[in-house]
Amino acid sequence: MPKPFKRLTGIQPGDLTFVEARTILERASDEAKAEVAEASRAPEILEYLSKDPQPGVRALVAGNRAAPAEVDLALSEDVDGDVRAELARKIARLVPGLSAAEAEALRETSFKVLERLAADSLPRVRAIVAEEIKAARNVPKSLALKLAKDAELAVAAPILQYSPLLGDQDLLEIIATSEVEGTLEAIAKRHNLSATVADAVVATLDIPAVAALLANQSADIRATVLETVVENAAGIEAWHAPLVLRPELSLRAVRRIAGFVASSLLGALAERHSLDEETRLVISGRVRERLKTESLAPEADAAALDRAIAAVEQAHKSGKLGDEFIVEAVAAEDRLRVIAALAVLARVPIPMVERILKSGSGQVITAFAWHARLAMRTAFHIQKDVARISPRDLVPGRGGTDYPLADEQMRTQLQMLGIVANR
């Protein structure tokens, strides 16, 4: 079906002269005017429609890249926020792609519009500008700084995290003076963050910011500063996982961390760093201590446990104790039967199996299943459906069927449990 304007005039809106368009537009519907506002490339027509009483028409003019600079400047002060937001999207997307010569030519017009929009009363308009120019190098630094210091995090964060125009001194000043929650975290996520700025972030001991800094593998964090983090990290769980993965940790820091992180992280700590034998023994000792002291589920009903053990013994005698038996027990949600079967196959006490399943470590459980000579598919079922490992910590099979960890990695996990691998 022809669009409204073509039905009205018999021609495409972009083909009209200003005189023809104005005569038609004075009696056209809002839908037809909107079509012209979006499609026209004639400056006079767009200027005429930029004063239309309907905000929707003016918004389409604001989004039209053919609109003259003077029209954009006028629309930057439009009473309707949607009009200003549409203009912000257009201008902010246009500016980063300009060459140096083009940017200089537009400095008196488009940059002036951009600066007005960066000071808009609506945070969402300012946020559009910030998001679109966050990586631009050809906008005035003063504009980037203005947005970086905005009172709304949604405006400041993109610039703080990505803008190449902010130097270390700018960031240090913002760290020292900003009262906007989330500012430090945005800075901590910057690519290739310098050691000087990282020092300042850690000095604040802001929990989310330091967690983000530790997780930022491109950040330059001095070993001495990491020691400060370690000294304060025991009671701050949000720091534990990213701290374990920092490659700069000293052996002293590794040993100290082993004293307070969850058992699910100790395996990663042992594998992530090149450790001497003494440190490896310290970590193994910590794992065994956790297995003894971490809370267990309430003791199972004695009769139910006896039934589970009897079923496992019968299967073992008949040569049917293996993957199929455990998968069936998992499907039946018979946790006790799974635990009893693992105890027999791995030749360890039932309480130890319970503690391993409670460790929260997909790697530990995978290594334990490997030791029990079970298939990787079975190991995955045990992780997911028995131990209830969180999705992000699950260890899936390679190609769906093969163990993804090297044999040596699994032996390391088992050694920390005090188990000598039987394969």
Angle at 140 between CA 137 and CA 146, to 5 degrees: 110
**Per-residue model confidence (pLDDT) at position 159:** 97
Q: What is the pLDDT of residue 109?
A: 72
- The reply to whether 76 falls in a domain is no
| Number of Cα atoms under 13 Å in the Cβ half of residue 173 | 8
Radius of gyration of the chain (CA): 32
Residue 115, token pair as written in the block? 């600066």
Q: How confident is the model at residue 295 (pLDDT cuts 50, 70, 90)?
A: very low
Give the rounded percent of residues in the chain with a pLDDT score beyond 70. Answer: 82
pLDDT at 61 over 60: yes
Could you tell me the end-to-end alpha-carbon distance of the chain, in angstroms, rounded to an integer?
73
Token pair 């300012």: residue? 126
> If we measure between CA atoms, which residue out of 23, 14, 72, 6 comes closest to residue 42?
14
pLDDT digits (tens, 9 = 90+) for 337-372: 999 999 889 888 888 898 889 888 899 999 999 999
Q: Would 369 be classed as within a structural domain?
A: yes
Residue 93 lies in a domain: no
Q: In this structure, is residue 155 part of a structural domain? A: no
Helices and strands of the chain, counted as H and E runs: 28, 0
Quick one: pLDDT at residue 1?
30
CA nearest neighbour of 115 among 73, 63, 59, 60: 73
Average pLDDT over residues 39-64: 90
Alpha-carbon separation of residue 76 from 62, 72, 129, 146, 338 (angstroms):
9, 6, 12, 18, 68
- Cα–Cα nearest to 33, from 10, 15, 11, 56: 56
Whole-prediction pTM value?
0.64
- Residue 53 pLDDT more than 80? yes
| 16 within domain boundaries | no
Q: If we measure between CA atoms, which residue out of 74, 73, 85, 92 comes closest to residue 123?
A: 85
Q: Is residue 384 part of a domain?
A: yes
Identify the DSSP state of 385: I
Residue 311, domain member (yes or no): yes
Of the pLDDT bands very low, low, confident and very high (cuts 50, 70, 90), residue 2 is very low
Q: What's the mean pLDDT when you consider all of the chain?
A: 84
Q: Which residues of 229-240 are buried (b: 16+ CB within 10 A; e: fewer)?
A: bbeebeeeeebb
Decide if 398 is inside a domain: yes
Select the highest-mean-pLDDT range: 70-74, 217-221, 403-407: 217-221
Distances (CA, A) of 293 to 89, 387, 418: 57, 18, 15
CB 230 within 8 A of CB 253: yes
pLDDT digits (tens, 9 = 90+) for 10-45: 445 555 566 666 666 776 778 888 888 888 888 888
Is residue 277 over pLDDT 90?
no
pLDDT more than 90, % of the chain: 48
pLDDT in tens, 210-258: 999 999 999 999 989 999 999 999 889 899 889 988 888 888 888 888 8
- Give me the domain span that covers residue 394: 302-416
Domains identified in the chain, total number = 1
Please state whether 400 falls in left (phi above 0), alpha (psi between -120 and 50) or beta: left
Q: Rounded to the nearest 5 degrees, what angle is found at the Cα of 266, between the Cα atoms of 261 and 267?
A: 160
